[in-house]
């Protein structure tokens, strides 16, 4: 578990990063759940702080791609956690609809190759469907969902106002620097680029995305530079 600020951690599960929030009311919230087989990895990470899966009260999903909702049903069975996600991702997360990836015509050969690597999501659970920007003080003071669509139609970030920390899902990636999400896995790249500008306007200090290292303290400048680059 990598400490971001007090009570906030990022955990690299290999396939993707997840977030762990310590709730003032007791217990934990997870942001995303990694890929298939992640339940044991999450249990192991939590045990390093003497927590267990039963401490998880809420699971906040950024979007329904298979590398963000792994083992969701199994995690809910153990923890009885409440799962939150955008309404537009709910059917994908429940396994009722395929992921909406980029059309082949918009991709080069490498992009089509990456797209084929995407696996169908496992059958998951959503209890609370969000519609967009949403105040989530009911879970934790200063927490809100930020609508950052494009990579997926209902992609959400989760923002902690007190520490200016944004868990962004895949609205961008941090692979050799911050950059636009991977085209083969992105539903609408134009919208995704607009979401980078939306995230930059939050001026977060800390940014944790699904793929790549957390950006600590200097996220606002890095995001603003990416937003400018994607505009031109």
Give the number of C-alpha atoms closer than 13 A to the C-alpha of residue 17, restricted to the C-beta side: 26
For Zn ion, give the closer residue by CB, 153 or 204: 153
Taking the C-alpha atoms of residue 199 and residue 196, their distance in angstroms, rounded to an integer, is 5
Q: CB 3 → Zn ion: shortest distance, Å? A: 23
Is 67 one of the binding residues for Zn ion (CB under 5 A)? yes
Contact characters 187-206, Zn ion, x per CB under 5 A: --------------------
Q: Which is nearer to Zn ion, 57 or 66 (CB)?
A: 66
Q: Which of 39, 57, 65, 94 binds Zn ion (CB under 5 A)?
A: 65
- For 163, residues 6+ apart whose C-beta sits below 8 A from its C-beta are 4, 5, 6, 8, 205, 206
CB 99 within 8 A of CB 63: no
CB 79 to Zn ion: min, Å: 22
- Token couple for 157: 């970030």
Q: How wide is the angle at C-alpha 190 spanned by C-alphas 187 and 192, nearest 5°?
A: 65
Question: Residue 184, interface with Zn ion (CB under 5 A)?
Answer: no
- Which range in 137-145, 170-178, 191-199, 201-209 contacts Zn ion by CB under 5 A? 170-178
Residue 170 contacts Zn ion per CB under 5 A: yes
- Provide, rounded to whole angstroms, the least separation between the CB of residue 169 and Zn ion: 7
Contacts of 227 (CB under 8 A, 6+ apart): 196, 197, 199, 200
Treating both helix axes as pointing N-terminal to C-terminal, what angle do 219-231 and 189-201 enclose, rounded to 10 degrees?
140
Q: Which tokens belong to 227?
A: 């937003």
Residue 210 makes contact with Zn ion by CB under 5 A: yes
Binding mask 116-155 for Zn ion (x = CB under 5 A): ----------------------------------------
135-164 per-residue burial string, b: 16 or more CB within 10 A, e: under 16: ebeebbeebbbbbbbbbbbbbbbbbbeebb
Residue whose C-alpha is closest to residue 30's, from 91, 74, 87, 72: 72
Nearer to Zn ion by Cβ, of 72 and 140: the residue is: 72
Binding of Zn ion at residue 73 (CB under 5 A)? Answer: no
Minimum Å gap between C-beta 208 and Zn ion is 12
Point out which span in 78-86, 87-95, 125-133, 207-215 binds Zn ion (CB under 5 A).
Answer: 207-215
Counting residues that bind Zn ion (by CB under 5 A) gives 4
The stretch near Zn ion (CB under 5 A) out of 27-35, 62-70, 100-108, 129-137 is: 62-70
- Phi (first) and psi of residue 104, to 5 degrees: -55, -35
Question: Which residues make up the interface to Zn ion (CB under 5 A)?
Answer: 65, 67, 170, 210
């Amino acid at each position: 578990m990598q400490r971001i600020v007090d009570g906030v951690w990022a955990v690299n599960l290999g396939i993707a990063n997840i977030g762990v929030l310590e709730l003032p009311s007791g217990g934990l919230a997870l942001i995303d759940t990694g890929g298939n087989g992640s339940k044991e990895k999450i249990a192991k990470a939590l045990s390093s702080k003497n927590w267990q899966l039963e401490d998880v009260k809420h699971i906040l999903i950024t979007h329904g791609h298979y590398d963000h909702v792994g083992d969701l049903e199994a995690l809910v069975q153990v923890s009885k956690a409440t799962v939150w996600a955008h309404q537009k991702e709910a059917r994908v997360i429940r396994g009722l609809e395929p992921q909406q990836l980029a059309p082949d015509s918009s991709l080069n050969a490498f992009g089509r190759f990456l797209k084929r690597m995407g696996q169908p999501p496992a059958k998951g659970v959503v209890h609370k469907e969000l519609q967009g920007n949403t105040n989530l003080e009911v879970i934790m003071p200063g927490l809100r969902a930020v609508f950052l669509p494009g990579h997926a139609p209902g992609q959400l970030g989760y923002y902690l106002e007190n520490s200016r920390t944004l868990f962004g899902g895949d609205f961008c990636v941090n692979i050799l620097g911050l950059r636009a999400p991977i085209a083969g896995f992105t539903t609408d790249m134009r919208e995704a680029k607009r979401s980078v500008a939306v995230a930059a306007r939050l001026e977060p200090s800390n940014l944790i995305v699904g793929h790549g290292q957390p950006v600590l303290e200097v996220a606002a400048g890095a995001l603003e530079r990416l937003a400018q680059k994607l505009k031109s």
